[in-house]
């Protein structure tokens, strides 16, 4: 896909060092015509699938394939509402596919997506993938981890230093497609966040951020091109053992 001027984008996915299959998926999308692009902007998605059989691969792929189509098809003028509609449509389709094939009954996926429309950032998020913003050398996490550990930390029941090695640190409390997840927990931007030249956005799965600390991510995003950042961060996660699939997309505002 041709990427319009104004940003520099790079994406990378890796199976990691211990998994046989890559259950992560990602996508980047822009409308083909300029009029639609002006209204819809740029869309980036990352998903980290889970479930037996081939469920994780199928769920994450369905999420990133459904998202652009549902986002573009919406008649709502508000990009944030378009994102929420696309997220719920992906959730519905994954649930329906799981009902049609009992082997996929436990499949689900995280999903983190952002739209960049006329220098304004909108996002939606379910699970424990993350959206980061680097501005003027300072790194911020814009999403909240929907995990048991995240909930314990928020409620002050464990200390941050206990979270890294906690035996239940990967237990999700919200995911797309999970049948019993009727009240799906969704994070989204309260309002559009203005972006400025030099800002760097990164969405990634926990296979990346789980092996790195914030200072390492901040340093890489601030000192390298998006392509070099993708390569160096994936390699660093693999050097730390790479226990999970690793996926990221990095977008710099030019």
Per-residue confidence (pLDDT) for residue 182, from 0 to 100: 59
Model confidence pLDDT, tens digit, residues 108-149:
999 999 999 999 999 999 999 999 999 999 999 999 999 877
Helices vs. strands in the chain: H and E counts, helices first: 8, 12
Per-residue confidence (pLDDT) for residue 160, from 0 to 100: 60
CA distances from 227 to 149, 233, 252 (A): 32, 10, 10
The Cα 192–Cα 119 span in angstroms is 9
CATH of 7-253, one of 3.90.76.10, 3.90.1150.10, 3.60.40.10, 3.40.50.620: 3.60.40.10
DSSP class of residue 3 equals: P
- 223: pLDDT strictly greater than 60: yes
What ranges make up the beta strands (E) of 89-199?
108-109, 111-117, 120-126, 130-135, 138-141, 187-188, 193-194
Model confidence pLDDT, tens digit, residues 161-173:
555 665 556 678 9
- In sequence order, which residues have a C-beta less than 8 Å from that of residue 59 and are 6 or more positions away? 47, 49, 50, 51, 94, 104, 107, 108, 109, 176, 177
Q: What is the mean pLDDT of the chain?
A: 92
- 186: pLDDT strictly greater than 70: yes
Q: How many residues are there in the chain?
A: 254
The Cα 14–Cα 124 span in angstroms is 24
- The pTM assigned to this predicted structure is 0.93
């Amino acid at each position: 896909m041709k990427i319009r001027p104004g940003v520099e984008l790079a994406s990378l996915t890796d199976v990691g060092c211990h998994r046989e299959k890559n259950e992560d998926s990602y996508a980047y999308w822009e409308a083909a015509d300029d009029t639609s692009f002006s209204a819809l902007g740029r869309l980036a998605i990352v998903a980290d699938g889970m479930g037996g059989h081939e469920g994780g691969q199928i769920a994450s792929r369905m999420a990133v394939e459904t998202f652009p189509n549902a986002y573009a098809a919406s008649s709502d003028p508000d990009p944030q509402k378009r994102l929420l509609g696309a997220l719920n449509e992906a959730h519905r389709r994954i649930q329906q596919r799981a009902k049609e094939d009992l082997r996929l009954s436990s499949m689900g996926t995280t999903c983190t997506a952002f739209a960049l429309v006329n220098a304004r950032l909108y996002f939606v998020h379910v699970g424990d993938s993350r959206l980061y913003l680097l501005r003027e050398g300072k790194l911020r996490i814009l999403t909240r981890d929907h995990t048991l550990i995240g909930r314990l930390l928020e409620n002050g029941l464990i200390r941050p230093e206990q979270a890294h090695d906690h035996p239940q640190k990967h237990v999700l409390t919200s995911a797309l497609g999970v049948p019993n997840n009727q009240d799906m927990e969704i994070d989204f931007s309260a309002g559009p966040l203005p972006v400025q030249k030099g800002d760097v956005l990164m969405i990634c799965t926990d296979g990346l951020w789980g092996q790195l600390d914030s200072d390492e991510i901040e340093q890489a995003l601030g000192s390298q091109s998006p392509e070099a950042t993708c390569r160096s961060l994936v390699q660093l996660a693999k050097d730390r053992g790479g226990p999970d699939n690793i996926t990221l997309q990095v977008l710099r505002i030019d």
